[in-house]
Amino acid sequence: MQLRAVKNYEEMSILASSMLVEKVNKLERPVLGLATGSTPEGLYKQLIKQYEEKKVSFQHVKTFNLDEYVGLNKQDEQSYHYYMKDKLFRHVDIPEQHVHLPNGAATNLDEECKAYESRIKENGGIDVQILGIGLNGHIGFNEPGTSFSSRTHLVDLAPSTRQANARFFTSLEQVPEQAITMGIDTIMQSKEILLLVSGEKKAKAVARMVEGDITEEFPASILQKHPNVRVIGDEAALSLL
């Protein structure tokens, strides 16, 4: 695991964006794994800036998002489909058919999980996966206790995760109780992982991810075993290391 310390959220976003742009410009058919939440918002702003400055094009890029809530349709402003469209896709030249997120409104959710996993494989796997980390060590929506061998699957969200994400909804009751997420093994199959983390409240989680025991009780700890992980963290997030 390689650690890159930066000053603050903005520097984290700029560095992540320049790494990603370099990759996109280098690969013939880049496949990016994308994340939602507050952490990557600055990265997406920087990517849009680089696109507007003509430093990158997304025409040949394919994307797969980590997760999606169950029960929200794509137009729902709280859905991750909406988030991605709003924060990145509608601002750049990525073809709509290149964009993939699990369909949380599918009638057969288990089939949807299998189909999503197959689509990732058919596209040659993920070249660079962007990750954030939850306070309880979740990556994607893989909560503590998730098997390290899991593939894309349906999950019950931990009360602490629903609480943490309630800020995006009008009330806690509106936060869905389930989600579809890439599994831990799906994430581990990515050729490269770029984990972004900012702020003091994530410091304990980062320390446990980097130095703690590798255990299913703390999903992000498995990243110690991935051969190509870079963590870009600001001073506050890395303060306990």
Ligand X SMILES: O=P(O)(O)OC[C@H]1O[C@](O)(CO)[C@@H](O)[C@@H]1O
Among 13, 36, 129, 190, binds ligand X (CB under 6 A): 36
Distance CA 193, CA 172 (A): 31
> Least distance from C-beta 157 to ligand X, angstroms?
8
User: Which of 107, 119, 39 lies closest to 73 in space, CA to CA?
Assistant: 107
> Least distance from C-beta 54 to ligand X, angstroms?
29
Among 15, 20, 31, 39, binds ligand X (CB under 6 A): 39
Our CB check for ligand X shows the closer of 36 and 46 to be: 36
Among 134, 137, 176, 233, binds ligand X (CB under 6 A): 134
Asked if 168 contacts 138 with a C-beta cutoff of 8 angstroms, the reply is no
- Among the listed residues 143, 153, 165, 234, the single catalytic one is 143
Our CB check for ligand X shows the closer of 58 and 80 to be: 80
Residues 53-82 close enough to bind ligand X by CB under 6 A: 66-67
For residue 97, the Cα-to-chain-centroid distance in whole angstroms is 20
Distance CA 18, CA 83 (A): 22
Asked if 235 contacts 11 with a C-beta cutoff of 8 angstroms, the reply is no
Conformational region of residue 137, where left means phi above 0, alpha means psi within -120 to 50, and beta covers everything else: left
How many residues touch ligand X under the rule CB under 6 A: the total is 12
- Among the listed residues 10, 41, 76, 136, the single catalytic one is 136
Contact between 233 and ligand X per CB under 6 A: no
Contact between 183 and ligand X per CB under 6 A: no
Asked if 70 contacts 80 with a C-beta cutoff of 8 angstroms, the reply is no
Catalytic residue status for 25? no
> Least distance from C-beta 80 to ligand X, angstroms?
8
Q: What DSSP line would sit under 139-164, residue for residue?
A: BTTB-TT--TT--SEEEEPPHHHHHH
Binding site for ligand X (CB under 6 A): 35-39, 66-67, 132, 134, 141, 161, 165
By annotation, the residues acting in catalysis are 67, 136, 138, 143
